[in-house]
Amino acid sequence: MLFSLQNKSVIITGGASGIGLAITKLFAKQGATVHIFELNYSLAQEEASKIDKESGKVVAHEVDISKQSKVKEAVAAIESTMPIDILVNNAGVAHIGNAENTLEGDFDRVISVNIKGAYNCMHSVIPYMKQRKKGVILNMASVAATVGIPDRFAYSMSKGAIITMTLSVAKDFIKDGIRCNCISPARVHTPFVDGYLAKNYPGKEKEMYDKLAATQPIGRMAEPNEIGYLALYLCSDEAGFITGCDYPIDGGFTRLNN
């Protein structure tokens, strides 16, 4: 089977909703044992239970990825039962605002989850991967890291950091058999988008959804499973020659918008 993850153990942060959930389902279907790191433990348990009945072993872990001690604890517990082959740093928080109106607390929260959370997970997993001389790390960046998007100051900053962290890790650990890449999606139709529209544009959700979808030259938003398919390829053995790359998956957003 192409892109098999049979007998692989995977950590997916934020793996119980949106893009993360799509990746969890797909990886489990391909034979992986998936460990979901979620702050919302009840949601993680609920999704893990549903997926496990259908397609594979999924384990929920209550982990605040912004706390290094908690991440190390969870990683060590998994490693005591099976080696971690793949880490997908997917968890993140969004923020709307520019450099003038972004509050310090909001800025700190974005850094704490989006940047420090990814660092904490890589910092905790890499020593085990080094020992085995193999491992795959996939980070979730965004087109916002490379294209100017209005009112996304803190979020764009955090995703720019993800791209440079990816390059650094790929360079530093290539001789240890560790591959590290990242994905940069444009707008993806997730529950977050629906919630954002309902909160900010009550009664005009469809109109605003169509307007946001139209910013992609392809004429629509991505579906979460489309991001999942790219994640699967980059984490599979078939992508063994790929490291240190950022992959836009954006319906033409970064190159075709004029």
Sequence-separated (6 or more) residues with CB below 8 Å from residue 160: 141, 145, 146
Alpha helix stretches (DSSP H) within 8-113? 18-29, 41-54, 68-79, 104-110
Q: Residues 19, 97: contact at Cβ < 8 Å? A: no
Rounded CA separation 179/177 (Å): 7
Provide φ and ψ at 152, rounded to 5°. Answer: -130, 35
Catalytic residue among 155, 201, 233, 247: 155
- Count H helices, E strands: the chain? 10, 7
Active site residue 247: no
Main-chain dihedrals φ then ψ at residue 153, nearest 5 degrees: -55, -60
For tokens 């389902």, the residue is 25
Buried b (16+ CB within 10 A) or exposed e, 172-198: ebeeeebbbbbbbbbbbbbeebeebbe
Are 135 and 125 a contacting pair, CB within 8 Å?
A: yes
How do beta strands 86-89 and 135-140 pair?
parallel
The C-alpha atoms of residue 125 and residue 75 are separated, in whole angstroms, by: 7
Tell me which residues are annotated as active site.
155
